[in-house]
């Protein structure tokens, strides 16, 4: 029996991890899920659910240590982006003070990956053809100058925080955007606006975070799911995204692409990435491939790799425990994965801990 503890168990990525591990280990695995949301749907799929302290609580680290010890956890798997730096910095201490192995990579590679400005600066001289045009700004004057330097109002331009995920802090600036039509006929989750509207929001803010203004990439988007360790890639599965929702693929198809595979392998090597990571590329107006971002964690659509015949969560555990067989994997290409809503029922007496 292997015991795994997952934080942020309510996330889309956690669901893919749980389902994939259940598919392989059957009844030989015991999964404990932590989440601050008592009503998170994924608690239905774990063996034990714990309503967690918030990561901002100053007792959080000791709380995690205590749960690792008393539950005799073999594998500790932090999922949320916001926790990666913290647990990467404390990985050695966690493993020294418990019998658990921590599923997290090198702190330097995580810091670079999670900051879009640092990421682009790092790769600007290594793979210049794959880095989009961008500017880093921290005040309104710099932002406005960068917006017009990159082609607005004749071209669309992207506004984004250098840190963040799930389309938080992201807008596409489009001078011909019909705001009345958006108000009356579109869902409020759309991310397109005009510069003058965004400027009105920002004009009174004196302590803006670092903002990236980037060229708009209008064509195909690819996610690339990679299983790796210490910069060596063991399997690379690109996916063509047909439909997205707040940064997560709703309709996606696995597809072999040599250029994407080769450049992804180089990026993993240069950053010394480990375990499950996800890269995102988009095509520019000339059909040239550009790196959009790197997520040094389980992506929301990780289940796509399992449906394609390669169980990444299981392989990640093998790599963590130094049990990876290194045998060649067989990928079932051209699998289209469609995400959809499904209902679950939680009984009032379902077991959980506070």
The string of pLDDT tens digits covering residues 219-263 is 999 999 999 999 999 999 999 999 877 667 889 999 999 999 999
**41, 68 contact by CB (below 8 A):** no
pLDDT for the residue numbered 341? 81
Nearest to 116 by CA among 172, 163, 170, 150: 163
Taking 90 as the threshold, does the pLDDT of residue 328 lie above it? no
Task: Report the C-alpha gap between 320 and 315 in whole angstroms.
Answer: 9
Task: Report the C-alpha gap between 96 and 100 in whole angstroms.
Answer: 9
Distance spanning both ends of the chain, measured CA to CA: 25
Percentage above 90 pLDDT, the chain? 79
**Cα 354 from chain centroid (whole Å):** 27
**Cα 170 from chain centroid (whole Å):** 15
Mean pLDDT of 131-142: 96
Taking 60 as the threshold, does the pLDDT of residue 352 lie above it? no
The string of pLDDT tens digits covering residues 25-40 is 999 999 999 999 998 8
Taking 90 as the threshold, does the pLDDT of residue 326 lie above it? no
Which pLDDT band holds residue 141 (cuts at 50, 70, 90)? very high
| 130 CB-contact burial (10 Å; exposed 0-12 / middle 13-18 / buried 19+) | middle
Q: Which token pair is 260?
A: 């994407």
Extract the runs of DSSP E, i.e. beta strands, from the chain: 2-7, 29-35, 48-51, 75-77, 101-102, 134-137, 157-161, 170-173, 192-193, 211-215, 221-229, 232-245, 248-254, 275-283, 289-295, 336-338, 352-353
Of 74-78, 162-166, 277-281, least confident by mean pLDDT is 162-166
| 268 CB-contact burial (10 Å; exposed 0-12 / middle 13-18 / buried 19+) | buried
User: The tokens 């360790």 sit on which residue?
Assistant: 229
pLDDT for the residue numbered 165? 66
pLDDT for the residue numbered 348? 62
Report which DSSP code applies to 306: H
Q: Which token pair is 276?
A: 């499950």
Q: Which token pair is 245?
A: 């929702």
Contacts for 126 with CB less than 8 Å, ≥ 6 apart = 266, 270
The string of pLDDT tens digits covering residues 57-83 is 999 999 999 999 999 999 999 999 999
The string of pLDDT tens digits covering residues 168-191 is 789 999 998 888 888 788 776 678
Mean pLDDT of 118-125: 97
Which pLDDT band holds residue 149 (cuts at 50, 70, 90)? very high
Taking 60 as the threshold, does the pLDDT of residue 50 lie above it? yes
Of 14-23, 113-122, 246-255, least confident by mean pLDDT is 246-255
Report which DSSP code applies to 296: S
Which pLDDT band holds residue 351 (cuts at 50, 70, 90)? low
Mean pLDDT of 75-100: 96
What is the chain's mean pLDDT, rounded?
92
Q: Which token pair is 116?
A: 């879009």
pLDDT for the residue numbered 64? 98
- Strand pairing category for 170-173 and 192-193: parallel
Taking 90 as the threshold, does the pLDDT of residue 268 lie above it? yes
Which pLDDT band holds residue 344 (cuts at 50, 70, 90)? confident
Choose from 162-171, 249-258, 343-352 the range with maximum mean pLDDT.
249-258
Element (DSSP H or E) covering residue 143: helix 140-149
Task: Report the C-alpha gap between 194 and 63 in whole angstroms.
Answer: 46
- pTM of this structure: 0.92
Taking 60 as the threshold, does the pLDDT of residue 271 lie above it? yes
pLDDT for the residue numbered 329? 85
Contacts for 63 with CB less than 8 Å, ≥ 6 apart = 52, 53, 57
């Amino acid at each position: 029996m292997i015991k795994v503890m997952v934080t942020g168990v309510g996330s889309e990525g956690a669901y893919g991890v749980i389902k994939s591990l259940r598919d392989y280990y059957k009844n030989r695995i015991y999964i404990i899920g932590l989440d601050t949301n008592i009503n998170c749907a994924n608690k239905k799929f774990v063996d034990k659910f714990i309503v967690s302290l918030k990561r901002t609580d100053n007792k959080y680290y000791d709380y995690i240590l205590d749960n690792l010890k008393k539950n005799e956890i073999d594998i500790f798997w932090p999922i949320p982006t916001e926790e990666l730096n913290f647990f990467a910095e404390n990985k050695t201490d966690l493993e020294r003070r418990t019998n658990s192995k921590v599923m997290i990579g090198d702190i330097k590679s995580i810091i670079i990956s999670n900051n879009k400005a640092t990421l682009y600066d790092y790769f600007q001289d290594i793979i210049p053809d794959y880095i989009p045009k961008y500017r880093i700004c921290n005040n309104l004057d710099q932002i406005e100058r960068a917006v017009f330097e990159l082609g607005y109002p004749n071209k669309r331009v992207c506004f984004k925080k250098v840190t963040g995920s799930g389309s938080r802090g992201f807008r596409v600036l489009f001078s011909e955007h019909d705001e009345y039509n958006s108000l009356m006929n579109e869902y409020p989750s759309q991310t397109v606006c005009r510069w003058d509207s965004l400027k009105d929001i920002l004009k009174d803010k004196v302590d803006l975070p670092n903002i990236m203004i980037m060229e708009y990439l209008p064509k195909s988007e690819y996610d690339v799911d990679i299983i790796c360790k210490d910069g060596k890639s063991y399997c690379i599965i690109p996916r063509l995204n047909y439909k997205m929702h707040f940064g997560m693929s709703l309709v996606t198809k696995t597809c072999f692409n040599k250029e994407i595979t080769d450049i992804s392998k180089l990026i993993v090597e240069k950053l010394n990435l480990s375990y499950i990571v996800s890269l995102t590329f988009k095509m520019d107006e000339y059909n040239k491939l550009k790196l959009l971002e790197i997520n040094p964690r389980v992506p929301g659509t990780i289940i796509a790799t399992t449906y394609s015949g390669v169980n990444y969560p299981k392989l990640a555990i093998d790599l963590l425990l130094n049990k990876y067989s290194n045998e060649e994997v067989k990928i079932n290409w051209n699998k289209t994965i469609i995400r959809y809503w499904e209902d679950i029922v939680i009984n009032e007496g379902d077991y959980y801990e506070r």
